[in-house]
């Protein structure tokens, strides 16, 4: 994991070096072919490790970093800020983030797990998926069924509180499903409720990851948009007070403001 720390966390910001796209990807033109082939190859290899029971935290971080570097090799251009808020964490927290594509699920481990034990709140269906299931189960996520919102709430609070008490941070996407357009009305307060129950802080993460599109047939294998820069911003930890509304509103504002700024920056470039 030291390689990841030296590469991504050398400074408090990370920017992809110019001309990182490799010749093998260029040979396929502007298609997603090379990316998809390499990505599936990685998933199959990690699935084998998970089935053997050796897909541990270190393997998770390194495989996530491998996806991170693949994205750069295929024309992805990262701009990440606020890395000091990960490096300086000395306690478990609840990370809450908007959810735009498959990318964040793939690269968050190499952005968080080098410094903190962490797991996700995921759909139960992902843990039983033929391809992704073994990998998901290996990292012991909190699962929700989405058929009964009250049961899901109670399950997340119960399991999440136990994990946080043991020192494991939790990543939650309060929007539920992936959405390219951020609507504040879709952003529920589950992450804040969990943090309040466990007496820990929240760390909001804003992201713009529509470089990796959502596919129509296979959602994880959508088109690659090389003209779209990848933005990630990590906020400082927020303490929960009262009923948590103030903290949730602050997280929503942080994400909204960052997305507005990034979208305006994109418009100016074009």
Q: What is the pLDDT of residues 186-215, one digit of tens each?
A: 888 999 999 999 999 999 999 999 999 887
> Residue 134: which H helix or E strand, with range?
helix 133-138
Q: Residues 237-259: what's their mean pLDDT?
A: 95
- DSSP-derived secondary structure letter, 86: H
Fold held by 2-269: Glycerol-3-phosphate (1)-acyltransferase (3.40.1130)
Provide the CB-side half-sphere exposure for 46 (13 A, CA).
29
| Cα–Cα distance for residue pair 83/257, rounded to 1 Å | 18
Residue the block writes with tokens 């690269």 = 107
Which residue is listed with tokens 């960052």?
A: 258
- What distance lies between CA 63 and its chain's CA centroid? 14
What pLDDT score does 65 carry? Answer: 97
- How far apart CA 251 and CA 98 sit, in angstroms, is 10
User: In which residue are the tokens 């090389």 written?
Assistant: 226
Can you give the pTM of this predicted structure? 0.93
CB 251 within 8 A of CB 238: yes
What integer is the mean pLDDT of 236-242?
95
């Amino acid at each position: 994991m030291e390689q990841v720390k030296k590469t991504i966390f050398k400074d408090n910001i990370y920017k992809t070096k110019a001309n990182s796209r490799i010749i093998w990807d260029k040979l396929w033109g502007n298609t997603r072919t090379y990316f998809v082939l390499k990505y599936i190859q990685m998933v199959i290899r990690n699935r084998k490790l998970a089935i053997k029971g050796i897909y541990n935290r270190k393997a998770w971080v390194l495989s996530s970093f491998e996806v991170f570097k693949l994205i750069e090799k295929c024309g992805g251009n990262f701009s990440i800020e606020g890395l000091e808020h990960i490096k300086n964490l000395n306690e478990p927290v609840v990370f809450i983030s908007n959810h735009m594509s498959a990318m964040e699920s793939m690269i968050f481990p190499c952005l968080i797990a080098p410094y903190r034990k962490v797991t996700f709140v995921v759909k139960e269906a992902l843990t039983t998926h033929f391809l992704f299931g073994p990998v998901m189960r290996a990292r012991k996520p909190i699962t929700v069924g989405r058929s009964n919102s009250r049961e899901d709430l109670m399950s997340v609070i119960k399991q999440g509180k136990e994990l946080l008490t043991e020192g494991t941070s939790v990543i939650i996407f309060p929007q539920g499903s992936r959405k390219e357009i951020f609507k504040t009305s879709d952003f529920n307060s589950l992450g804040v409720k969990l943090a309040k129950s466990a007496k820990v802080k929240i760390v909001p993460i804003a992201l713009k990851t529509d470089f990796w599109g959502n596919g129509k047939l296979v959602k994880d294998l959508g088109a690659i948009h090389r003209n779209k820069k990848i933005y990630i911003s990590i906020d400082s930890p927020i303490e929960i007070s009262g009923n948590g509304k103030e903290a949730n509103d602050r997280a929503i504002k942080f994400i909204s403001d960052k997305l507005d700024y990034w979208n305006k920056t994109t418009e100016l470039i074009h």
